[in-house]
Amino acid sequence: MKKVLITGAAGFLGSHLCDRFIHEGYKVIGMDNFITGDKKNLHYLESNPNFEFIEHDVTEFIKIEGRLDFILHFASPASPIDYLKIPIQTLKVGALGTHNLLGLAKAKKARILIASTSEVYGDPLVHPQTEDYYGNVNAIGPRGVYDEAKRFQESITMAYHRFHGLETRIVRIFNTYGPRMRLNDGRVIPAFMGQALRGEDLTIFGDGMQTRSFCYVDDQVEGIYRLLLSDYSYPVNIGNPNEITIKDFAEEIIKLTGTKQKVIYKDLPVDDPMQRKPDITLAKKLFNWEPKVGREEGMKKTFEYFKALSKEELYKSEHKDFSSYINK
């Protein structure tokens, strides 16, 4: 059996990747320190003989016994609520954590896939975004801690590829959604659905004309899996190019949930991107990938997941306590 280490395994995407690799017949080692991950996302794997879990912070030295074939680095805060509360930890996991995992990959002669993000494009001046676009990022703005962590992550990964000959893969992930998202993580889909389920008005930041492109988690995982097994070492966009304005999306959510809420408007956060749409030409060419799940189908599945949450989870407004990480 091939063995894969997945960091950020208790997170939204990480837990779905654990599912996929178990299904494909791999021995999976999941790693997480539960800053933003949730133990319940991995509960069903606890009795699986092909799954092992290690509670660990990847910014500290990482030791894995025995052979390791693949590493997928998905450990990082990924929503603005998270990385604005723990900015230093966000920078450290992108820098020190990535450095540790690249060193582990080198020692084990393992192929490593790094989870980057569409945020490396910042508030883009090119639309849609292609992999050869350098981006428009405010390095010293409040979002810079996440954007620059990911840009550094890509740079050090390519340095290891060029200098050490390491087998590297880089995925630039665009907005992804589906079951296991945290209802209170601050991103637009769980925010809208949570507000609808609680009978609250839906909040739009700005005028609602900014655009996003939403990719269902099954499609995202398929793209990541194909990229890992490809022969391409440079960044690849994985996302759904079906673009929609936030205003129109809010109306879709109201229709889907059958609620009667109003839409209210608040000020746009600093450096919030006005456009977000991936050009996926490269993924189609390299490994014949494109999304299959339409937004209507994906949103229905996601809404059913949120509807099934307990009342306690639905009304929990306070975000996770980060106090133990503030000075780290």
Tokens of 295: 């937004």
Any long-range contacts for 30-33 (C-beta under 8 Å, 24+ apart)? 30/6, 30/54, 31/5, 31/6, 31/7, 31/55, 31/56, 31/58, 31/62, 31/75, 32/7, 32/8, 32/56, 32/75, 33/57, 33/58, 33/75
DSSP 166: -
Rounded-to-integer distance, Cα 279 and Cα 242, Å? 10
Sign for the CA dihedral angle at 30, 34, 35, 36 comes to: positive
CB 184 within 8 A of CB 310: no
Q: Which of 121, 146, 160, 225 is an active site residue?
A: 146
Phi and psi, residue 303, nearest 5°: -65, -40
**Bridge partners of 204?**
265
DSSP 201: P
- Among this protein's residues, is 305 annotated catalytic? no
Three-class HEC string of 226-249: HHHCCCCCCEEEECCCCEEEHHHH
Rounded-to-integer distance, Cα 6 and Cα 108, Å? 15
Could you count the other beta carbons within 10 Å of the beta carbon of residue 206?
15
Report the catalytic residues: 146
